[in-house]
A and B are shown apart, each in its own frame.
Chain A
Amino acid sequence: MSDLFDSIVSRIREDAAAGLLPGHLQTASIEPGMTLAELGVDSLGRLALLTALMDLTDQYIPDTAFTEAQTLGAIVDQAAAMARPSS
């Protein structure tokens, strides 16, 4: 798993502890192949994920990242690709 994936998992656990994401995510296994629905992430949770990804990558990430990618791992990969400097 990438550093970014580990970082986003850490942020998910923090947001779960704060009550903004489902409480079970504080300790549950979070795998790249899991969908947001499987994680129990609703529209508020998507906002939390989006802002966390933007903060971690210092990059604007459009909402489409969540519609185009089906799994958490794919969303993170897409965010990482957007953050990568273009050659």
Chain B
Amino acid sequence: MSNIEIAQQDSKLHLIGLAHCGLFGISEDYEEAYLSLDQYMMKNRESTFFFRAKGDSMTPLIMEGDILVVDASLKVKSNQIAIVHLNGERLCKRILFHQEGIILVSENPRHKRIILNEGSELSLFGVVIGIARLFI
């Protein structure tokens, strides 16, 4: 639908003109917001935190300097990547729920897996739901 101007005169309606604006189907009715990366990468704005990756333990999946998008509201499932605190130290690891307990796995094979023993204190900060990386 395009602009229709209607003028009221002598209590009669006169159609003055019908103007086509641009291509068929292009009009304000179809205007939507820009696609938002915020919306795409944040399921829950209030529980999403960003971290910057440091070191090479998660390469090649996560490179040094990548922004980690972390949702603290999620419960971690086995094989997901998460930010955890192990004895007060913040780590980014793949979490495996194994029969013998929880194992923290690095993507980089040169880093050893960490098998939790009884004395270690582990708490979850949040699940890494994605990374953001700019090439330039």
Judge: A and B partners, yes or no: no
**Chain A interfacial positions (CB closer than 8 Å to B):** none
**Chain B interfacial positions (CB closer than 8 Å to A):** none
